[in-house]
């Protein structure tokens, strides 16, 4: 007999997701600064997306493995927390070593060292991401699931805001240098990664210590799982488990397949934004000619002019401000997200948010203004082109889209998953995050080079069109009424148990 799962207090839900603040802090530092670091270490524009392929490839490999393993793990730390803690420790190592890649030049080329540390960080972040998603599904009852994922989205964006602006703060408030010669990394970026590693580990430890996962007996009772079935699966040979995994992929719920199309267009656009915002803004807003992103050209001149170095440093810092801005707007929108989804329906809110985000990307072309203005950011004052300030406007729409992307697909998906397979299915669902980024990474550099002649602002407009297509695709997603129906249709031999009502 299935028992009613206890409702959680606000602070219990908060503690379940608090570690995600630190994980996203580190992820935001990576998003805002990896292109900057790799460019300083010698990468050219059309190869940047290839280096960024490490992230989705790591997700594609790691998350399903971790999801399946965490479904079958029960120890003193619980079911998901061992993976969250282990991933955080590994991520800290990568965050400390990445900005110090030039120090290892005696043993390994800085570019290769940087790529390896990006791979380590991404693998570690993915070890954390999937169990955190599953932890919410495990601990939060169906009636609070919109709230649970909205709080997680809020914490993600708080972490993203702080992580994104940190190099800017260290330069303009603390006074650390934000420029670097070719083959080096700016001191402000190095110290930002040190601080981020500390915050990541501390917040994850908070969740590990403050959240007590259900025992196997309680979990099975709340989710309507027969304990003997779970035990049989845990004892199954590796080959049998792998066959079962591929069977799950083939028979994934219909809702997951439909959401995969939405995810493709959404994450194709996000990958482009993370990779190319820094060169796009440096070219479009700071008026730095695209030749200064060509390592061959740079090698042909005696030295990079100081004005170019300063402009690239200022633009890199401002990207942190813009990324922080869209995260602030996402955090604000997250507060209202659950209520909007409850009143208007998830599909309307999700589609509307993606459409707003797409139009915001495309509006990038409208905001070039080279007039220098003094901007008071409360913590400091800076002088930047007016176009840089105007770019805060489209960040509102991008933030709204980002908040929905972080919460809505998981809330829509959760109702279609069998509880005993939540972890592995959340891992499989990461294919829909990783695959479009891989496609983007393989194609965006070629498109930028051969179609847009390395003019990076146009690749941002392309991202906007992709996001709009994602918004249209949302309306073709069928949310199930009960999990019982989905399991019967899509998951052979699964246990039957009721779940939440879908929107």
* 56 token code pair: 């989705």
CATH number of this structure's domain 10-490, picked from the four choices 3.10.620.30, 3.40.50.410, 1.10.10.410, 1.20.1250.20: 1.20.1250.20
CA–CA dist 400, 471 (Å, integer):
13
The average pLDDT across 23-40 equals 83
Query: Residue ranges of the alpha helices (H) in 140-237?
Result: 145-169, 187-210, 216-223, 227-235
> Could you report the per-residue pLDDT of 337-367, keeping only the tens digit for each?
878 988 898 899 999 999 999 999 999 999 9
Q: Closest by alpha carbon to 441, among 270, 291, 292, 317?
A: 270
CA–CA dist 152, 15 (Å, integer):
10
Q: What is the DSSP string of 17-80?
A: HHHHHHHHHHHHHHHHHHHHHHHHTT--HHHHHHHHTHHHHHHHHHHHHHHHHHHT--BTTBSS
Q: Which residues contact 472 (CB under 8 A, 6 or more apart)?
A: 351
> Token pair 């390395």 is at which residue?
454
At residue 277, the pLDDT reads 93
Instruction: Decide if pLDDT at 414 tops 50.
Output: yes
CA–CA dist 302, 5 (Å, integer):
69
pLDDT more than 70, % of the chain: 85
State the pLDDT confidence band at 105, using cuts at 50, 70 and 90.
Answer: low
* Pairing label, strands 372-376, 381-385: antiparallel
At residue 420, the pLDDT reads 61
Average pLDDT over all residues of the chain: 82
- Domain-wise residue ranges, the chain: 10-490
In the DSSP assignment, the letter for residue 373 is E
The average pLDDT across 139-151 equals 80
Predicted TM-score (pTM) of the model is 0.71
> Could you report the per-residue pLDDT of 153-165, keeping only the tens digit for each?
788 778 888 888 8
Instruction: Let me know: does 467 contact 266? Beta carbons within 8 Å.
Output: yes
State the pLDDT confidence band at 48, using cuts at 50, 70 and 90.
Answer: confident
The average pLDDT across 289-306 equals 85
Instruction: Let me know: does 274 contact 52? Beta carbons within 8 Å.
Output: yes
Residue with more model confidence, 429 or 477:
477
């Amino acid at each position: 007999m299935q028992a009613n799962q206890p409702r959680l207090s606000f602070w219990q839900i908060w503690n379940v997701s608090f570690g995600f603040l630190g994980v996203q802090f580190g992820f935001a530092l990576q998003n805002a600064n990896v292109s900057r670091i790799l460019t300083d270490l010698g990468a050219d524009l059309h190869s940047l997306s290839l280096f960024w392929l490490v992230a989705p490839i790591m997700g594609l490999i790691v998350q399903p493995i971790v999801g399946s393993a965490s479904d079958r793990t029960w120890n003193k730390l619980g079911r998901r927390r061992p993976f969250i803690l282990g991933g955080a420790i590994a991520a800290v190592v990568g965050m400390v070593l990445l900005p110090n890649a030039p120090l290892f030049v005696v043993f390994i080329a800085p570019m290769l060292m940087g790529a390896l540390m990006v791979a380590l960080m991404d693998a570690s972040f993915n070890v954390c991401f999937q169990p955190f998603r599953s932890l919410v599904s495990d601990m939060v009852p169906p009636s609070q699931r919109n709230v649970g994922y909205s709080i997680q989205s809020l914490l993600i964006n708080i972490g993203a805001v702080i992580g994104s602006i940190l190099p800017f703060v260290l330069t303009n408030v603390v006074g650390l240098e934000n420029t670097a010669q070719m083959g080096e990394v700016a001191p402000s970026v190095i110290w930002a990664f040190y601080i981020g590693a500390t915050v990541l580990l501390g917040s994850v430890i908070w969740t590990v210590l403050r959240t007590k996962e259900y025992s196997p007996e309680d979990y099975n009772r709340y989710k309507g799982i027969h304990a003997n079935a779970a035990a049989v699966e845990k004892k199954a040979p590796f080959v049998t488990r792998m066959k079962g995994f591929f069977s799950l992929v083939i028979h994934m719920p219909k809702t997951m397949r439909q959401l995969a199309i939405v995810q493709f267009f959404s994450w194709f656009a996000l990958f482009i934004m993370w990779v190319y915002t820094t060169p796009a803004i440096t070219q479009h807003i700071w008026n730095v000619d695209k030749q200064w992103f060509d390592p061959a050209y740079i090698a042909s001149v005696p030295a990079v002019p100081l004005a170019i170095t300063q402009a690239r440093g200022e633009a890199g810092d401002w990207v942190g401000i813009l990324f922080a801005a869209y995260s602030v707007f996402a955090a604000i929108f997250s507060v209202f997200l659950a209520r909007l989804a409850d009143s208007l329906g998830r599909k309307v809110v999700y589609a509307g948010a993606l459409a707003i985000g797409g139009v915001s990307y495309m509006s990038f072309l409208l905001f070039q203004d080279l007039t220098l203005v003094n901007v008071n950011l409360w913590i400091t004052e800076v002088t930047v082109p007016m176009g840089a300030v105007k770019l805060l406007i489209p960040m509102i729409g991008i933030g709204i889209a980002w908040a929905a992307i972080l919460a809505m697909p998981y809330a829509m998906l959760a109702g279609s998953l069998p509880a005993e397979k939540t972890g592995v299915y959340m891992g499989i669902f990461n294919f829909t995050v990783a695959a479009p980024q891989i496609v983007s990474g393989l194609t965006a550099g070629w498109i930028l080079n051969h179609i847009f002649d390395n003019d990076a602002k146009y690749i941002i407009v392309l991202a906007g069109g992709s996001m709009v297509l994602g918004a249209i695709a949302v309306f073709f997603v069928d949310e199930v009424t009960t999990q019982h129906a989905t399991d019967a249709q899509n998951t052979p031999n699964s246990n039957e148990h009721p779940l939440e009502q879908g929107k």
